[in-house]
Chain A
Amino acid sequence: MSSVIVVAPIIIANWPVITAAVAAGVGSLGFSVVNTAELESAFSENMTREEIEVENSEVLDGSAGTGEQMVVVKDGIKATFTRDARGALKLCMEGKGKSKSELRQIGEELMGRVTQQYAYHRVVTELKERNMTIVEEGMTETESVKIRIRNW
């Protein structure tokens, strides 16, 4: 081994890239993407709510404005991803019978998976631009994505 660098990703992307990362990331935790119109009856009253501001994120102003949102659900928990007024990514967690700290924990797990998918997308895009070829790719026991590139 020659050098090891650890990096905390900063999410800087337009809305379509972020929604793709959300769609790819949340499935591993059992959440699924839904149309907001379907939610009116299922999520109405007595919901605990917790908002998570995603530090180190910037949703680029482009094809999508501040009104865009993406909703994912699982077992009575609703997670809404939006772009806040400052342009950062925001996650609003709602659920019946859940405490704020439980919702925050689930929300942070969700954001972890979304960040993982964003970083994967960024790495693969960069590899293509540099004409570097992946020789091995897979998921580890700890649910990390591992990519190996050889003799580029």
Chain B
Amino acid sequence: MAQEELEIEIDKFGKVTVKTVGIKGPRCLDVAESFAQILGQEESRELTSEYYETEQQVRSHIDVKRKY
């Protein structure tokens, strides 16, 4: 599994940048938004290619044969 990271940078004027790294799909925005909401007023947002990628899903297929 890729490493999921959250990077928070607070500049010397107090402005906060919340970045998500390695989180695919809309979940990345949920994580960043939840932090932005507790801090104050959102000024801008940028969605990069990973946002539009889907999370990888592992599926297994099991055949079950019934014995009569």
A149 to B31, alpha carbons, bound, how many Å? 12
Interface code A106-136, partner B: CB below 8 Å = 1, 0 otherwise? 0001011111101110110010000010000
CB of A116 within 8 A of CB of B14, answer: yes
Please classify how large the interface on chain B is, using the bins under 10, 10 to 19, 20 to 34, 35 or more: 35 or more
A3 to B30, alpha carbons, bound, how many Å? 10
A contacts with B: majority SS: mixed
Please classify how large the interface on chain A is, using the bins under 10, 10 to 19, 20 to 34, 35 or more: 35 or more
Interface code B4-15, partner A: CB below 8 Å = 1, 0 otherwise? 111111111111
CB of B7 within 8 A of CB of A6, answer: no
Give the residues in chain B near A120, CB-CB below 8 Å.
10
Interface code A1-44, partner B: CB below 8 Å = 1, 0 otherwise? 11111111110000000000000000000000000000000000
Q: How far is the CB of B27 from chain A (nearest CB, A)?
A: 9
| B62 on interface, CB distance cutoff 8 Å | no
